[in-house]
Chain A
C-alpha cells in the first residue's frame, strides 16, 4: 500500500495567537506551527494500514520554507518520507490554486490512496480533498470513520458518517479519502521515531518543478480577497449565579424567559 497523506502546518490553536497580517493574510510568524490536528487522524490511519499490509506513507505538504520543522513530527510518528511543495509564488494561494498545486504534486507520485483531514483548523474549508479527487479523476470517499482497503481486490471500503447513521462506500483504488477523528487517536512519536525522522528524506518541489504556470497560482491567481476585518463585539460580563439548586434553576428559567428562549 502506498498512501499519501496531505498534511498542513497550521497555527497551533492551543496558543490562540492567530492573527491576520497587514495584507489580510495569515501572519504565520505570530503563532507556533503544528500539523493540522485533523490530518493527524489520517496519518495514524495510514500508518496502521501500512503496518498491516506493508507499504509506505508519504507526507505531502504545501507550505512556506520552514514547514519541514512540522513535517518532522509526521516522520517521527512513522511516515516514510515527505514531499514539500514550496515556492514564493505560492504565497496567497486560495482554495482553488491550493487544490491545483496539490493535484499537480500528486500526479508525480505513485499511490493507492490519498488521505486528507476533514478540514484545517485555520481555514476550516474542507473543500480541497474533493477538488483534488475531481482534478485527478479519482473516486472520492469522505467523512470516513473506518477505512478498509482490499489490496488483492484493488478496492477500498469506507464507513462514511451520515446524518442518520453511516453508509458503507466502496470504490476501486487509487482513491482519495477524507476522514474524521473516528479513525482513532494519533500516536505520539517514540524516541526512536524522533531520532529516525532526522535522516528521512523530504523532497522539495517548486512551482516550476511541478510544471505549473506561475500566473495560475498564488496571489497572482487568487479568486477571493479579504476586504476588511473586525473583532466580534465582546460578550458582556457573565451574570454569575450562586445559590441553592432551586435558586439556580429559577435564575436560569428567568434568564431563558428574558431572552425569549422558553
Chain B
C-alpha cells in the first residue's frame, strides 16, 4: 500500500465535521497496523480551522484553500483537487464519509481516478490488506469485502459512528497546498443558502436517538419526543409516516428512503418497526421500544419492549430521568 488518505468534510462554520475526525481515527489505526503513511485532506474556501483540528488526529494534513467552493457546490470541485494531489503510484486507499457529501466526492473520485469503491463500511480492519465490513440487505447479513489484487486507487465510504474519534498522542503538521490546474468539470453555482428555521441535531452522527412514529399522533406529540431527546442529549428521529404527515422534517427520517443510523441508544416511541423503518436503525447498539401493541414487529428486534401508552410512559420518563 502506497498511502492512506482521509477526505474530511467541514461544517457550515468551517470547523471539522465529526465524520472527518472518525475517518482520521480509522485511517490512523489502519496506517499503524499496515505501517503506511496516512494523510488528511481538507478542501474548503478557508480550510485552516478544520485542518488544524484534523491534525490532532493525524501526523500530516494538507489544507487546500479553494475559493471556488465559497459559492459553488463542493463535492465535484473537492474531488478534482483531491485527484490532483493524491499520487496513485501503487495501492492507495481513500476514505470518505458515507453521507451525502462523502458519497458525492467518492463517486466523482471513482470516475476521475478510474477505480472501484466499497460503500457504507461499518468496520475496516487490516488483514494483509483492507477488509471492509458492510451490513447488507437491511442488516440481515454482514459481508467482508476487499479490493482485488492490482487495484490501485481504492475508495471506501464509511458510515458515521463506526469508530470513536480519538486524538493522536501528538498533533501533526498542517501543510498548505495551493490548488493547481483548471477545474475541468462544469461548476454548479450556489445561488442561495437557506438555514432551516430550527435546524435540529443531525441524526446520522447522534449517539442517542429518540424517534417517533405514527403513534405520536401529531406535531404536538413530537414536543414530548423532543423533550426526552433533549434530556438524554440525543437527536430526534422519525418514521416515514410521521414525516409524510408533516409532523417533522424529512431530515429526521430514518429508514429505507431516509437515513441509516447506528446510535448507541435508539428509543422508539409509537413505532411499529415495519421493514422500511427497520433497515434504517436495526444496527443500533441498544433498542428500547415503547408501544401499545405487544405484537408489533419491533418486539422482534428490540432489547427492551415497554408495553404501554407512549405519552404516559414518556411523561413519567421525563420526571424520572436525571436533568
List residues of A whose CB falls within 8 A of some B CB. 11, 13-14, 16, 18-20, 24, 37-38, 41, 94-96, 99, 118-119, 121-135, 137-143, 145, 157, 160-172, 180-182, 185, 222-232, 235-236, 238-243, 245-246, 248-253, 255-256, 259, 261-262
Instruction: Specify which chain B residues have a CB less than 8 angstroms from the CB of A229 in the assembled complex.
Output: 141-144
With both chains docked as a complex, state the minimum distance between the C-beta of A57 and any C-beta of chain B, in angstroms: 21
A-B interface contact total, Cβ < 8 Å: 294
Q: Would you give the 0/1 interface string for B162-205, flagging 1 where the beta carbon is closer than 8 Å to chain A?
A: 00000000000000000000001111111111111001001000
With both chains docked as a complex, state the minimum distance between the C-beta of B14 and any C-beta of chain A, in angstroms: 13
Across the interface, do A253 and B321 meet the contact criterion of CB distance under 8 Å? yes
Does B302 touch A at the CB level, under 8 Å?
yes
B26-34, B37-45, B116-124 - interface stretch: B116-124
Cross-interface CB contact of A231 among B142, B186, B244, B305, cutoff 8 Å: B142
With both chains docked as a complex, state the minimum distance between the C-beta of A196 and any C-beta of chain B, in angstroms: 28
CA distance A138 to B305 in the complex (A): 50
Does B299 touch A at the CB level, under 8 Å?
yes
Instruction: Specify which chain A residues have a CB less than 8 angstroms from the CB of B12 in the assembled complex.
Output: 162-164
Across the interface, do B190 and A130 meet the contact criterion of CB distance under 8 Å? no
Across the interface, do A166 and B137 meet the contact criterion of CB distance under 8 Å? no
**Of listed B79, B115, B186, B191, residue having the most chain A CB within 10 A:** B186
With both chains docked as a complex, state the minimum distance between the C-beta of A45 and any C-beta of chain B, in angstroms: 14
Q: Would you give the 0/1 interface string for B310-323, flagging 1 where the beta carbon is closer than 8 Å to chain A?
A: 00110111011110
Across the interface, do B250 and A182 meet the contact criterion of CB distance under 8 Å? yes
Q: Would you give the 0/1 interface string for B131-163, flagging 1 where the beta carbon is closer than 8 Å to chain A?
A: 100011111111111111001001001000000
Across the interface, do A222 and B120 meet the contact criterion of CB distance under 8 Å? no
Cross-interface CB contact of B119 among A127, A137, A259, cutoff 8 Å: A127
**Of listed A145, A161, A227, A261, residue having the most chain B CB within 10 A:** A261
In B94-118, which residues have CB < 8 Å from any A CB?
Answer: 98, 100, 103-108, 110-112, 114-118
CA distance A163 to B294 in the complex (A): 36
Question: Considering only CB atoms, which chain A residue lies closest to B133 in the complex?
Answer: A230
With both chains docked as a complex, state the minimum distance between the C-beta of A168 and any C-beta of chain B, in angstroms: 4
Across the interface, do B316 and A246 meet the contact criterion of CB distance under 8 Å? yes
Across the interface, do B188 and A171 meet the contact criterion of CB distance under 8 Å? yes
With both chains docked as a complex, state the minimum distance between the C-beta of B46 and any C-beta of chain A, in angstroms: 18
**Given A130-B111, A239-B305: A249 and B286 within 8 A (CB)?**
no
Question: Considering only CB atoms, which chain B residue lies closest to A141 in the complex?
Answer: B188
Across the interface, do B120 and A131 meet the contact criterion of CB distance under 8 Å? no
Across the interface, do A165 and B131 meet the contact criterion of CB distance under 8 Å? no
Does B86 touch A at the CB level, under 8 Å?
no
Across the interface, do B188 and A170 meet the contact criterion of CB distance under 8 Å? yes
**Given A249-B313, A261-B286: A227 and B144 within 8 A (CB)?**
yes
**Given A131-B108, A134-B111, A227-B146: A125 and B120 within 8 A (CB)?**
yes
Does B257 touch A at the CB level, under 8 Å?
yes
Across the interface, do B119 and A125 meet the contact criterion of CB distance under 8 Å? yes
Across the interface, do A181 and B151 meet the contact criterion of CB distance under 8 Å? no
Does B230 touch A at the CB level, under 8 Å?
no
Across the interface, do B208 and A261 meet the contact criterion of CB distance under 8 Å? yes
Q: How many residues of B contact A (CB 8 A)?
A: 101
CA distance A151 to B235 in the complex (A): 41
Across the interface, do B104 and A130 meet the contact criterion of CB distance under 8 Å? yes
Across the interface, do B107 and A160 meet the contact criterion of CB distance under 8 Å? no
Instruction: Specify which chain A residues have a CB less than 8 angstroms from the CB of B142 in the assembled complex.
Output: 229-232
Instruction: Specify which chain B residues have a CB less than 8 angstroms from the CB of A13 in the assembled complex.
Output: 138, 256, 275-276, 279
CA distance A255 to B313 in the complex (A): 15
Instruction: Specify which chain B residues have a CB less than 8 angstroms from the CB of A134 in the assembled complex.
Output: 76, 79, 107-108, 110-112, 185
List residues of B whose CB falls within 8 A of some A CB. 11-12, 73, 75-76, 79, 98, 100, 103-108, 110-112, 114-120, 131, 135-148, 151, 154, 157, 184-196, 199, 202, 208, 232, 240, 244, 250-251, 253, 256-258, 260, 264-265, 267, 275-276, 279, 283, 286-290, 294, 299-309, 312-313, 315-317, 319-322
CA distance A135 to B76 in the complex (A): 12
**Given A137-B186, A223-B115, A255-B288: A238 and B299 within 8 A (CB)?**
yes
Across the interface, do B103 and A181 meet the contact criterion of CB distance under 8 Å? no
Instruction: Specify which chain B residues have a CB less than 8 angstroms from the CB of A238 in the assembled complex.
Output: 289, 299-305
**Given A126-B107, A228-B143: A181 and B250 within 8 A (CB)?**
yes
CA distance A112 to B244 in the complex (A): 30
CA distance A259 to B107 in the complex (A): 38
Across the interface, do B193 and A167 meet the contact criterion of CB distance under 8 Å? yes
Across the interface, do B110 and A140 meet the contact criterion of CB distance under 8 Å? no
**Given A127-B106, A166-B194, A222-B116: A140 and B188 within 8 A (CB)?**
yes
Instruction: Specify which chain B residues have a CB less than 8 angstroms from the CB of A130 in the assembled complex.
Output: 75-76, 103-108, 110-111
- CB-defined A-B contacts under 8 Å, sample of 6: A166-B193, A169-B190, A243-B308, A245-B309, A252-B313, A253-B320
CA distance A224 to B185 in the complex (A): 27
Instruction: Specify which chain B residues have a CB less than 8 angstroms from the CB of A96 in the assembled complex.
Output: 110, 114-117
With both chains docked as a complex, state the minimum distance between the C-beta of A172 and any C-beta of chain B, in angstroms: 7
